[in-house]
Amino acid sequence: MKNFKMRPKLIAFGALIIGFITLSWGNVGHERINKAAVMALPKQLQIFFYNHIDFITQEASVPDIRKYALSYKEEGPRHYFDMESFGPADTYPKTLEEAKQKYDAKFLSDNGILPWYIEDMMAKLTKAFKEKNRAEILFLAADLGHYIGDAHMPLHTSANHDGQLTDQKGIHSLWESRLPELFVKNYKLNVPEAQYYGDVHKAIWDMINDTHSFAQPLLDIDKKLRTETPQDKVFKLDTEGKVLKSKYNTAVFTDEYAKKLHEQLNGMVESQMRKAIAATASFWYTAWVNAGKPDLSDLDAPAVTQRNYQSLQDDLKLFQKGDLFGMKNQND
């Protein structure tokens, strides 16, 4: 692990929990998004983040641990925004505080606060950069990467979050967890260098609106394919011919169906993951610029940066080839 070793027990506990629960983007997605985002940072910021890339990567799934394993009541709504429930866009509150004044707590709990929470996180991360608070920078950046990842999953922006309104239950975890698990080795997850967002508020809502534009196409493609495919080719069946259920009581899709859906989605999952990587790096970079571009080089001992130098160069080469995770040479 590169340098940063805070809360190792939490990380170990998190890794254990993640092995037993289904998470948004899955462990596969969130960790790749955060790790690749580090490689997309400008050099001034990248060196500091790379010194702690193992922490940034592993911490990426901690918000889901708080939500599922630890059952933090306030955590759930941070992960989604049921856009249809909030009415016309020009009536949306601008801040989380305004949202809390306009809607009651139950409504926000049911329908989510994701875009407003991202904006609050950006303010906190900017403050942490200004104060050069190493621990806060790393915890906040890693968590922020998780929520930005969620903001690129189309069904995290829809009231029909698991196809439950259209008899398509299971589509959520299939899209965001199973498909990446099966096909991520074929994805090229290199993206251009982070960009600066001059208007953070606008950048967040542009991201949410873009993601939401894929929700209905995703549901339509799955609906059509399910209709055309025999049930025993959509779901795995038990010895009695009944649909096999996971330990979470959700239907288990066949690999054959997952492959067909992935093909018909025409690169949607990979594209959204790439967008999440680019956005995560850009929001981190924007917070740093808005903090006055503080010099972070003195937050780590020179020996740490020197020790990690060659690894950074090697990983940059892999990243530029789209193979940061060493998957391209693996057999199917």
The pLDDT of residue 26 is 66
Q: How far apart are CA 49 and CA 55, in angstroms?
A: 9
Determine if the pTM surpasses 0.85.
yes
Q: Which residue has the higher pLDDT, 8 or 119?
A: 119
pLDDT at 11 over 70: no
| 8 — pLDDT class (breaks 50, 70, 90) | very low
Query: Lowest-confidence range among 68-82, 145-159, 291-305, 314-328?
Result: 314-328
Query: CB of 309 within 8 A of CB of 2?
Result: no
Beta bridge partners of 295: none
Q: How far apart are CA 322 and CA 78, in angstroms?
A: 30
The residues spanned by each domain of the chain are 8-292
Give the CA dihedral 92, 97, 101, 102, nearest 10 degrees.
10
Q: How far apart are CA 272 and CA 257, in angstroms?
A: 21
Query: Angle at CA 190, nearest 5°, toward 158 and 1?
Result: 95
CA-nearest of 103, 18, 69, 28 to 325 is: 28
Residues 128-140: pLDDT tens digits? 999 999 999 999 9
pLDDT at 223 over 60: yes
The pLDDT of residue 24 is 60
| 71 — pLDDT class (breaks 50, 70, 90) | confident
| 327 — pLDDT class (breaks 50, 70, 90) | low
- Looking at the chain, the whole-number percentage of residues with pLDDT higher than 90 is 81
| 13 — pLDDT class (breaks 50, 70, 90) | very low
The pLDDT of residue 250 is 79
| 15 — pLDDT class (breaks 50, 70, 90) | very low
Q: Which CATH architecture has domain 8-292?
A: Orthogonal Bundle (1.10)
pLDDT at 1 over 60: no
| 122 — pLDDT class (breaks 50, 70, 90) | very high
| 247 — pLDDT class (breaks 50, 70, 90) | confident
Mean pLDDT of the residues in the chain: 91
Query: CB of 124 within 8 A of CB of 118?
Result: no
Mean pLDDT of 192-202: 98
Query: Angle at CA 32, nearest 5°, toward 13 and 185?
Result: 115
